[in-house]
Amino acid sequence: MKTVAIISKPDKPELLELVPEVLKWFEEHGYQTVLDDETASYAPGSPSVERTTIGEHDPKFVLVLGGDGTLLSAARAVAAAKIPILGVNLGSLGFLTEVPLSELYETLAAVDNDRCAVEKRSMVHCRLVRHDETVVEFHALNDAVINKSAISRLVSFDLYLDNVFVSNYKADGVIVSTPTGSTAYSLAAGGPILMPSVDALVISPVCPHSLTHRPLVVRDTVEITIEVQSAGEEAFLSIDGQVGVPLEDNDKVLCRKSPYSCTLLRMRKTFFDVLRTKLKLGIR
């Protein structure tokens, strides 16, 4: 029997009706379903699994019911298992979860019959080093962000590329984003838009003290090292805007292209179609 996993956004009232309907569709089409805890809460009596263990059940694909944040969480959970993700937009922007609810079953039928486009998205591997020891590491689809707390003063960041010193930033933070993440926080900080297929990473300072500090595009073969000089100010490392780790003075955050990639099941829309629809790029 084919298997599909479902990951849902918490506290979405429409899922009370939607989840049972989706489960019925999968049952009628010969699928066994694996539900994360959030999805199971909308299907009384259905067993659930931890989101991080979904890959162990070898589903044909993961259906994400939510917004871009839910898809980012799903990507971190299943990218290593190379499981494709289909995102259905129940949020506001839906840049990654581009399938509207009105086209859900039409798209599911296309996926079931292997008629859906597949797109690989690179990820960034981020490692926090303290006193020459790795404290924690992550894989992110959008970005890794090193920033100060809301009440802290500017924090100093030293930037190195392949151990070669590049610059010192005195800023609210620094963003290391993938091409996918270039249309997220990095774009809001003044960074460029990269096509998803570009083999690059973007380094964007957030509100730098010097106007000469601009976003920097580098090949994704380099290792980016950001050393934090906080001088007692609070600083944090956040992954895809969802996972946060407090930083200490002289901590180093090392970023490079992840060995994993995120596989997205897409509609027949180009990247620029999505830009025009979601970001109103080039709309007169």
Catalytic residue ranges: 68
Helix segments in 189-284, DSSP class H:
271-278
- Locus of tokens 């944090």: 236
Return the residue matching tokens 């601009």.
Answer: 214
Give the C-alpha distances (Å, rounded to integers) separating 105 from 101, 119, 166, 197, 263: 8, 20, 50, 28, 20
Mode of pairing for the β-strands spanning 243-247 and 224-229: unpaired
Q: How far apart are CA 43 and CA 29, in angstroms?
A: 18
- Cβ-in-10-Å burial (0-12, 13-18, 19+) of 156 comes to middle
The C-alpha angle with vertex 220 and arms to 217 and 193, in degrees rounded to 5, equals 40
Q: Which residues contact 143 (CB under 8 A, 6 or more apart)?
A: 124, 175, 176, 177, 178, 181, 184, 185, 186, 239, 240, 241
- DSSP H helices, 126-265, are 185-188
Angstrom distance (rounded) from CA 244 to CA 258: 19
Beta strands at 61-66 and 85-89: parallel, antiparallel or unpaired: parallel
Closest CA to 122 of 101, 146, 140: 140
Which amino acid makes up residue 201? L
